[in-house]
């Protein structure tokens, strides 16, 4: 299995605050990595460091062997190969759903309009939003907006897609439709890094889970490992709290 | 538009703008008068219209809205000309004989008459006030509207009447909140005092023209005038900024 | 200008004065638009010191009466009054439109810019395809307001000799105030008809529509 993304000893601080303290992991082709951990532990910062929206202070990020931190790399073209899905969807409010998806292929990849539209239709089909392509973001529910957000990332045909708590801004009854889409694209072979606390999703598709706390990866393992025998006390406490919050049916089995 | 006032004839013929500094200073006092009276008048009328519009019920609120929209939709110049010309026309038509030829003055250091108030000045003040009131009312209304209806309900829950809640809850907060927007108007109005030149008031612009007629230094004079206004308005902005930072409510 | 009965005076006001009013308004707004957009882009995107220059321009033109600007241009350029008036209105409107456009640019949510960067857009593309299209819509209510301001302020041009509507009748203030009153009332009404429908439409209908598109929550 070839390595798609290699994150090596990434450090990041904001002023005095040291947020990431040496994070290392890699993602292979068609792998799904689930990142979880307490709020403020640096998960979003890690994702922003990976696609250089916020360049790391130190360390290395390689996409298919090519460093993103070397001088002279075309950052925007590299970013085009790393998709990102946001907690708050961040759709472009002046564009209809279809154009939210075509704008990247058209403006960044330089495709003709028809080609971009074809591509967008495929991506929109994948997230089951075909009936809604003429709607503006404000006319869509949160779940629908997030599915368009996912289609926007997929239409770029990225090497890897980063998800930053894609369901945590949604009303409970809308979470399911988004998770279903994420399951579908994971099973279709999309390489993904997903920050989420949806343990059912993790159990279903994660090749590996990473528990991050206070800027470092504390424990890694398969879902089975985490749900049966987590080693670290902090992990156990955290999973227990999730269970209390969200109900037990899909988290810890002691 | 008339360009001449009493001073025009009395002014000695001299070259160089500096020699007219007393006259310019006197005229600037008239500009200041126009500004402050216009602003205060606009504040009183504006507050009245803002309260009418926000709390006045259907009829009063319609009247206030109509006033605000008509004034904001028409030029200050025609408003001032109208205020000035209405009593003049009444007299000319023989309907009444309104007293329009009075004036207040003081004698300046060179023993000349300096007019401080007459009908053209008063008409300009009224025009500026009528105009500014519409803008001030809108800014104040924005401040009133931003106060949550929860606070009004809380006021009636402790037995306040409608007027009491306006007086003690809405006004103190709303006026404070409208200070930033209101400051715009306060810094806007000085520029518009030059409107008085249309009815012959000897304010700073009119005096500048008189000085130019004497010295032929038109570019220099207008540049100085531009600088005077710029400094005046910058100073007003500074004062307002300081006032605003001192009247903030903690946590608002 | 010897019209001494109301009908022919009104005809004179409309045929001789109104075109100047409209033309000055178009010139002032158009020139102000170009200057305003350029200044706003400079203030948001350019280096600190260039941005400070743009800010100085704004403060300068907002701090001087438009009539003084007109007079200054008239005596210093030697151009016809109409051009001096148009120049003054345009340069000053540029200062105000810059603020309108800049406010609109800054109110486009930053999260959408981050999303644009995340699909590989550069700063230019993000500005061109994401920020500015939204900013131009968000600026519409402010622009309608500026349209009214410029249109009303064309009336100052009469004071430097441009034959606009007010100038076409103001000699009567002292000569024939009884005839002047209905004339100036008619002029006031014409200004109202020119400005009110547009500010009303853009101010209310437009901002409602913008809000329904999730644009401009603050307007
Ligand atoms: N742009 C920023 N500037 C300053 N501090 C930041 C910034 N982004 C994040 N932080 C801080 O970094 C820490 C980690 O934030 P984040 O990565 O968002 O955590 P998580 O996503 O795990 O909740 C928090 O303490 C947060 O306040
Ligand atoms: Mg986060």
CA–CA gap between residue B230 and residue C35 (Å, rounded): 21
Which residues, 6 or more positions from A177, have their beta carbon under 8 angstroms from its beta carbon?
A: A128, A143, A147
Per-residue pLDDT at C1 exceeds 60: no
Instruction: Name residue B53's beta-bridge partners.
Output: none
- C157-196 tens-digit pLDDT: 999 999 999 998 888 877 888 899 999 999 999 999 999 9
Tens digit of pLDDT for each residue in A189-200?
999 999 999 999
pLDDT in tens, chain B (252 residues): 444 444 444 555 556 888 888 899 999 999 999 999 999 999 999 999 999 998 888 999 999 999 999 999 999 999 999 999 999 999 988 898 888 888 888 888 888 888 889 999 999 999 999 999 999 999 999 888 888 777 877 777 777 878 888 888 888 888 888 888 888 899 999 999 999 999 999 999 999 999 998 888 999 999 999 999 999 999 999 998 888 788 776 665
For residue B63, being part of any structural domain is answered with yes
Our count of domains for chain B comes to 1
**Does residue B137 fall inside a structural domain?**
yes
CB contacts, 8 Å: C196 with chain B: 69, 73
Is B9 part of any domain?
Answer: no
Q: Which domain holds residue B163?
A: 29-98+109-200
Distance A52 CA to ligand 2 centre (A): 16
Average pLDDT over chain C, rounded to an integer: 91
Could you tell me the CA-to-CA distances from B125 to B74, B83, C104, C143, C203 in Å, in that order? 17, 10, 35, 29, 30
* pLDDT per residue as tens digits for the range C90-123: 999 999 999 999 999 999 989 999 999 999 999 9
Q: Which of B64, B5, B27, B32 is nearest to B128 (CA)?
A: B32
* Number of the ligand 1 atom closest to the C-alpha atom of A212: 22
Phi, psi of A106 (to 5 degrees): -70, -50
Q: How far apart are CA B116 and CA C26, in angstroms?
A: 39
SS (H, E, C) chain B: CCCCCHHHHHCCCCCCHHHHHHHHHHHHHHHHHHHHHHHHHHHHHHHHHHHHHHHCHHHHHHHHHHHHHHHHCCCHHHHHHHHHHHHHHHHHCCCCCCCCCCEEEEECCCCCEEEEEEHHHHHHHHHHHHHHHHHHHHHHHHHHHCCCHHHHHHHHHCCCCHHHHHHHHHHHHHHHHCHHHHHHHHHHHHHHHHHHHHHCCCCHHHHHHHHHHHHCCHHHHHHHHHHHHHHHHHHHHHHHHHHHHHCCCCCC
Is there a contact between C120 and A84 if contact means CB atoms under 8 Å apart?
no
Phi first, then psi: give them for residue A69, nearest 5 degrees: -105, 0
Q: A254 in a domain, yes or no?
A: no
CB C93 within 8 A of CB C148: no
Question: Looking at the domain assignment, is residue A90 inside a domain?
Answer: yes
The answer to whether residue B206 sits within a structural domain is: no
In a domain, B190, yes or no: yes
Chain C residue with CA closest to B227: the answer is C64
CA of A75 to the centre of ligand 2 (A): 23
As separate numbers, helices (DSSP H) first and strands (DSSP E) second, chain C gives 12, 0
Q: Which domain covers residue A191, as residue numbers?
A: 3-246
B154-187 pLDDT tens trace: 777 777 878 888 888 888 888 888 888 888 899 9
- CA gyration radius, chain A: 18
Q: What confidence score (pLDDT) does residue B5 get?
A: 45
* Number of compact structural domains in chain A: 1
The answer to whether residue A60 sits within a structural domain is: yes
Strand partners, A210: A35, A220
Exposed/middle/buried for residue B92 (C-beta within 10 Å: 0-12, 13-18, 19+): middle
* Domain annotation covers residue A253: no
The sheet with strand A32-36 has its strands ordered as A82-85, A160-164, A192-195, A32-36, A208-213, A216-221
Rounded CA-CA distance B149/C151 in Å is 38
DSSP letter (8 states) at residue A161: E
C195 touches chain B (CB under 8 A): yes
Ligand 1 near A42 CB (within 6 A): yes
Q: Give the pLDDT of residue B12.
A: 55
Report the alpha-carbon distance of residue C78 to residue C84 in Å, rounded: 9
Tokens matching residue A252: 């810890």
Look at residue C218 and tell me if it is in a domain. Answer: no
Q: Is A41 in the pocket of ligand 1 (CB under 6 A)?
A: yes
Whole-angstrom Cα distance, residue B43 to residue B37? 10
Q: What pLDDT is stored for residue A164 in this prediction? A: 96
Distance (Å) from CA C34 to ligand 1 centroid: 40
Give me the CATH number covering residue B65: 1.10.3720.10
**What pLDDT score does B163 carry?**
84
C59 found inside a domain? yes
CA distance C116 to chain B (A): 34
Report the number of distinct structural domains present in chain C: 1
Residue C217 belongs to some domain of the structure: no
pLDDT digits (tens, 9 = 90+) for C142-151: 999 999 999 9
Render each residue's pLDDT in chain A as its tens digit; 254 residues: 799 999 999 999 999 999 999 999 999 999 999 999 999 999 999 999 999 999 999 999 999 999 999 888 898 889 999 999 999 999 999 999 999 999 999 999 999 999 999 999 999 999 999 999 999 999 999 999 999 999 999 999 999 999 999 999 999 999 999 999 999 999 999 999 999 999 999 999 999 999 999 999 999 999 999 999 899 999 999 998 888 776 655 444 33
CA gap C164, C141 in Å, rounded = 27
pLDDT at A157: 95
What is the C-alpha to C-alpha distance for residues C179 and C172, in angstroms, rounded to an integer? 7
Does residue A252 lie in a domain region? no
**Is B149 part of a structural domain of the chain?**
yes
């Amino acid at each position: 299995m070839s390595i798609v993304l290699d994150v090596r000893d990434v450090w990041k601080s904001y002023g005095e605050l040291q947020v990431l303290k040496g994070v290392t992991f890699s993602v292979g082709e068609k792998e799904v990595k689930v990142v979880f951990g307490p709020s403020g532990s640096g998960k979003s910062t890690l994702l922003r460091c990976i696609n250089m929206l916020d360049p790391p202070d130190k360390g290395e990020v390689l996409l298919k062997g090519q460093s993103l931190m070397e001088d002279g790399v075309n950052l925007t073209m590299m970013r085009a190969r790393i998709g990102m899905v946001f907690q708050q969807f961040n759709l472009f409010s002046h564009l209809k759903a279809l154009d939210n998806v075509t704008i990247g292929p058209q403006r960044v990849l330089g495709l003709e309009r028809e080609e971009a539209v074809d591509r967008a239709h495929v991506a929109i089909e994948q997230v089951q939003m075909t009936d809604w392509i003429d709607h503006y973001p404000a006319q869509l529910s949160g779940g629908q907006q997030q599915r368009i957000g996912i289609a926007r990332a997929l239409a770029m045909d990225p090497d890897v897609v980063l998800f930053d708590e894609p369901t945590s801004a949604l009303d409970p009854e809308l979470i399911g439709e988004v998770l279903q889409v994420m399951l579908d694209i994971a099973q279709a072979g999309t390489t993904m890094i997903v920050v989420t606390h949806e343990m059912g999703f993790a159990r279903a598709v994660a090749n590996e889970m990473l528990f991050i706390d206070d800027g470092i990866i504390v424990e890694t393992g398969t879902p089975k490992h985490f749900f049966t025998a987590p080693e670290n006390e902090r992990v156990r406490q955290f999973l227990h709290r999730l269970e209390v919050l969200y109900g037990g049916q899909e988290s810890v089995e002691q | 538009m008339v360009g001449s006032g009493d001073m025009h004839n009395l002014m000695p013929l001299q070259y160089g703008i500096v020699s007219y500094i007393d006259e310019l200073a006197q005229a600037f006092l008239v500009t200041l008068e126009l500004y402050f009276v216009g602003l205060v008048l606009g504040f009183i009328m504006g507050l009245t219209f803002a309260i009418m519009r926000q709390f006045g019920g259907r009829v009063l609120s319609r009247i206030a809205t109509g006033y605000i929209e008509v004034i904001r939709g028409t030029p200050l110049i025609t408003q001032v000309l109208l205020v000035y010309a209405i009593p003049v026309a009444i007299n000319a038509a023989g309907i009444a004989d309104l007293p329009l030829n009075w004036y207040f003055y003081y004698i300046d250091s060179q023993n000349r008459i300096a007019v401080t108030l007459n009908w053209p000045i008063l008409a300009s003040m009224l025009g500026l006030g009528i105009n500014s009131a519409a803008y001030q009312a809108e800014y104040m209304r924005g401040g009133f509207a931003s106060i949550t209806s929860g606070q009004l309900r809380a006021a009636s829950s402790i037995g306040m009447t409608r007027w009491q809640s306006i007086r003690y809850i809405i006004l103190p907060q709303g006026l404070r909140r409208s200070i930033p927007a209101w400051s715009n108007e306060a810094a806007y109005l000085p520029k518009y005092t030059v409107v008085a030149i249309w009815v012959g008031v000897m304010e700073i612009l009119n005096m500048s023209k008189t000085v130019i007629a004497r010295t032929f230094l038109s570019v220099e004079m207008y540049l100085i005038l531009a600088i005077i206004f710029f400094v005046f308005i910058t100073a007003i902005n500074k004062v307002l900024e300081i006032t605003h930072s001192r009247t903030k409510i903690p946590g608002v | 200008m010897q019209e001494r009965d109301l009908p022919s005076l009104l005809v004179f006001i409309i045929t001789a004065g109104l075109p100047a009013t409209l033309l000055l308004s178009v010139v002032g707004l158009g020139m102000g638009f170009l200057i305003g957009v350029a200044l706003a882009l400079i203030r948001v995107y350019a280096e600190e010191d260039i941005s400070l220059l743009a800010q100085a321009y704004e403060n300068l033109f907002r701090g001087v009466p438009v009539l003084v600007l007109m007079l200054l241009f008239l005596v210093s350029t030697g151009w016809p009054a109409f051009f001096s008036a148009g120049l003054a209105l345009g340069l000053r409107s540029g200062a105000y439109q810059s603020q309108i456009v800049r406010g609109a640019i800054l109110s486009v949510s930053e999260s959408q810019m981050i999303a644009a960067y995340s699909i590989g857009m550069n700063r230019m593309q993000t500005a061109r395809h994401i920020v500015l299209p939204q900013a131009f819509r968000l600026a519409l209510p402010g622009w309608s307001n500026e349209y009214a301001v410029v249109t009303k302020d064309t009336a100052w041009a009469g004071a430097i000799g441009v034959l606009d509507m007010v100038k076409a009748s103001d000699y009567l203030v002292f000569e024939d105030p009884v005839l002047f009153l209905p004339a100036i009332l008619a002029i006031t009404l014409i200004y109202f008809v020119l400005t009110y429908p547009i500010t009303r439409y853009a101010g209310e209908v437009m901002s409602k529509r913008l809000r329904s598109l999730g644009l401009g929550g603050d307007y």
